[in-house]
């Protein structure tokens, strides 16, 4: 399975200023598989140690930061002698080892000739808990579920290449087939184990069971990695997401969690889910000025699940409602499509915001900084794109040009560009490189 992060890992390996690499990301997005695969393809030897599953690692960094001793003990544990430049050392779930994250500073300062890569599903939580982070001494990469570009390259690489070409006349010829694959992605999502299960078996019931298993793992993690009181609030927040997104404006409302719920009670739970990569937070902005982060309204936000396939599983959405009809899109008021767009924007390195008027129903689904400017985005789940929000916004702010993602084909107008939903990645990636 080809992942786009592979090229980033190659760049890291070949960088003369290479530092120990931390890969962050939610559980089940493929971090462990990717590290092992990269090691197998690019190095003479790979040392893989799961720090959560290897009790001998608990004391490796406790005594001191003598790199000769540490490398020798890693050799004893793994049975492989690390060789500079030729061996990839992988320490998975490094946050489970006392002083493990801080030890990366000394790999950088005293043993940079050794290639070391670490990961952990709860690194974000560990860092929030006061773990000493080696600022400036590590390289960082974030790994997400498979985006649609990666997905279509597994399902139909020829059409994946066509999308890369941006030849809109040719793309239009295969519109129906591309929509069919897009619907499949809506149902499967981008969790690698789920996608691989479908490729191997073409069995949607097995796919759904894989998705249920991932959600069950997340829920088990709530209790395992947080206190009981916090775990209850995390679970309540997590379980409220479908109801939050089924609302017309999708703004997160604490009363949806339970009657009388207050922000102060649930801020820690929300941050826990964000730090674990399970949800993405989209803040409202007050003004259309760069940088957008300066104009965040921190009191108003939306929470999106990290993966549209897991969202469908949480809702127990029937396969036929996604693959054969528009029932799921009508019932959830565009939530499937907004989660899909959110996944693609985040995977391509964008930080999305949204905007809404205080005293009216005017709203823009997303606002991003792209190609040196601010771009207002409207998301439409179907070919019917009649909506006044984006058009009215451009009328009031003619200095901007809108971007709409919908099931319609490519369309260029003075005030707006329409990009088919299945071509998001290639379009915004090209713009990001300009």
What is the structure's pLDDT at 389? 84
Residue percentage of the chain with pLDDT more than 70: 94
Where does 5-142 sit in CATH, by number? Answer: 3.40.50.300
**How confident is residue 313, by pLDDT bands cut at 50, 70 and 90?**
very high
**CB atoms near residue 330 (< 10 Å):** 12
Map residue 416 onto helix, strand or coil.
strand
Q: What is the pLDDT of residue 407?
A: 92
Contact 9, 30 (CB under 8 A): no
Taking the C-alpha atoms of residue 352 and residue 321, their distance in angstroms, rounded to an integer, is 28
Classify strands 21-24 and 139-142 as parallel, antiparallel or unpaired: parallel
Report CA-CA distances (Å) from 256 to 146, 236, 245, 298, 304.
30, 10, 11, 19, 15
The upper half-sphere exposure of residue 190, i.e. CA atoms within 13 Å in the direction of its Cβ, equals: 28
pLDDT category of residue 263 using cuts at 50, 70 and 90 = very high
Q: Both tokens of residue 307?
A: 């993966």
Residue 130 has pLDDT above 70, yes or no: no
Q: Give me the residue label for tokens 């070949």.
A: 14
Degrees, nearest 5: CA angle 148-149-153? 110
The answer to whether residues 10 and 3 touch, using CB atoms and an 8 Å cutoff, is no
DSSP-based three-state secondary structure for 300 = strand
Length reported for the chain: 434
Encoded tokens for 184? 């499949």
How far, in Å, CA of 312 to CA of 208, rounded? 9
Residues 176-226 pLDDT 10s = 999 999 999 999 999 999 999 999 999 999 999 999 999 999 999 998 877
Asked if the model's pLDDT at residue 384 lies above 90, the reply is: no
The answer to whether the CB of 190 falls within 8 A of the CB of 307 is yes
Average pLDDT on 52-67 reads 94
- The pTM assigned to this predicted structure is 0.93
3-state secondary structure of 221: helix
Position 248 confidence tier, pLDDT thresholds 50, 70, 90: confident
- CB of 385 closer than 8 Å to CB of 408: yes
Tell me if 48 sits within 8 A of 90, measured CB to CB.
yes
Q: Which residues pair with 373 in a beta bridge?
A: 370
Residue 115 pairs in a beta bridge with 88
Look at residue 223 in the predicted model and tell me its pLDDT: 86
Q: Which two tokens stand for residue 341?
A: 């767009």
Is pLDDT at 400 greater than 90 in this prediction?
yes
Q: In the predicted model, what is the mean pLDDT of the chain?
A: 92
- Tell me the CA distances in angstroms from 37 to 120, 151, 177, one per residue in order: 17, 18, 31
Rounded to whole angstroms, the Cα distance separating 193 from 129 reads 30
Task: Report residue 335 as tokens.
Answer: 């939530």
Burial of 200 per CB tally in 10 Å (0-12, 13-18, 19+): exposed
pLDDT in tens, 317-328: 999 988 988 777
Residue position matching structure tokens 């499967």? 188
Three-class DSSP category at 129 = coil
| Inter-residue long-range contacts of 166-172, CB under 8 Å, 24+ positions, other chains counted | 166/423, 166/426, 166/427, 166/430, 168/409, 168/410, 171/409, 171/410, 171/420, 171/423, 172/409, 172/410
Pairing of strands 296-305, 416-420: unpaired
**pLDDT tier for residue 430 given thresholds of 50, 70 and 90:** confident
pLDDT tens per residue across span 328-382 = 776 676 888 999 999 999 999 999 999 987 655 678 999 999 989 999 999 998 7
**How many angstroms separate the CA atoms of 35 and 402, rounded?**
39
Strand partners, 376: 367
Task: Sketch the domain layout of the chain as residue ranges.
Answer: 5-142, 148-433
Which residues pair with residue 47 across a beta bridge? Answer: 89
CA–CA gap between residue 52 and residue 202 (Å, rounded)? 34
Asked if pLDDT for residue 21 goes beyond 80, the answer is: yes
The residue that leads in pLDDT, 298 or 159, is 159
Which of 110, 88, 92, 114 is closest to 101 using CA atoms?
A: 92
Quickly state the pLDDT bin for 254 (edges 50, 70, 90). Answer: very high
| SS3 assignment, position 50 | strand
What count of other Cβ atoms lies within 10 Å of the Cβ of residue 30? 22
Q: Token digits for 79? A: 């049975």
Residue 126, pLDDT > 80, answer no
pLDDT given for residue 227 in this prediction: 77
């Amino acid at each position: 399975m080809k992942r786009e992060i592979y090229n980033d890992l190659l760049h890291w390996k070949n960088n003369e200023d290479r530092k120990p690499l931390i890969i962050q990301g939610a559980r089940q997005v493929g971090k462990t598989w990717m590290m092992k695969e990269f090691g197998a393809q690019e190095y003479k030897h790979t040392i893989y140690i799961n720090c959560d599953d290897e009790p001998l690692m608990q004391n490796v960094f406790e005594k001191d930061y003598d790199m000769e001793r540490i490398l020798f003990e890693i050799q004893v544990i793994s049975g492989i002698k690390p060789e500079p430049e030729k061996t990839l050392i992988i320490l998975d779930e490094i946050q489970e080892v006392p002083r493990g994250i801080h030890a990366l500073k000394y790999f950088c300062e005293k043993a940079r000739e050794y290639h070391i890569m670490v990961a952990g599903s709860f690194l974000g939580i560990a860092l929030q808990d006061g773990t000493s982070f080696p600022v400036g001494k590590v390289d960082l990469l974030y790994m997400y579920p498979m985006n649609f570009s990666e997905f279509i390259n597994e399902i139909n690489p020829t059409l994946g290449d066509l999308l890369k070409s941006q030849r809109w006349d040719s793309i239009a010829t295969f519109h129906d087939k591309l929509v069919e694959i897009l619907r499949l992605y809506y149902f499967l999502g981008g969790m690698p184990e789920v996608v691989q299960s479908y490729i191997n078996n073409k069995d949607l019931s097995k796919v759904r069971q894989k998705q249920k298993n991932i959600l069950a793992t997340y829920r088990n993690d709530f209790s395992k990695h947080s206190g009981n009181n916090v775990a209850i609030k995390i679970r309540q927040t997590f379980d409220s997401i479908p109801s939050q997104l089924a609302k017309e404006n999708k703004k997160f409302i604490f009363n949806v969690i339970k009657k009388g719920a207050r922000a102060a009670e649930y801020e820690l739970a929300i941050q826990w889910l964000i730090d674990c990569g399970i949800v993405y937070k989209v803040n409202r902005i007050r003004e259309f000025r760069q940088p957008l982060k300066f104009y965040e309204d921190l009191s108003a936000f939306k929470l999106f699940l990290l993966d549209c396939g897991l969202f469908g599983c949480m809702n127990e959405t029937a396969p036929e409602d996604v693959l054969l009809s528009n029932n799921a899109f009508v019932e959830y008021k565009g939530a499937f499509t907004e989660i899909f767009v959110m996944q693609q924007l985040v995977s391509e390195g964008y930080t999305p915001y949204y905007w809404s008027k205080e005293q009216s129903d005017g709203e823009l689904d997303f606002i991003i900084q792209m190609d040196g400017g601010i771009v207002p985005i409207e998301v439409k789940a179907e070919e019917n794109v009649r909506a006044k929000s984006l058009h009215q916004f451009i009328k009031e702010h003619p200095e901007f040009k809108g971007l709409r993602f919908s099931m319609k084909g490519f369309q260029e107008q003075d005030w707006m560009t329409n990009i088919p939903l299945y071509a998001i990645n290639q379009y915004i990636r090209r713009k990001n490189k300009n």
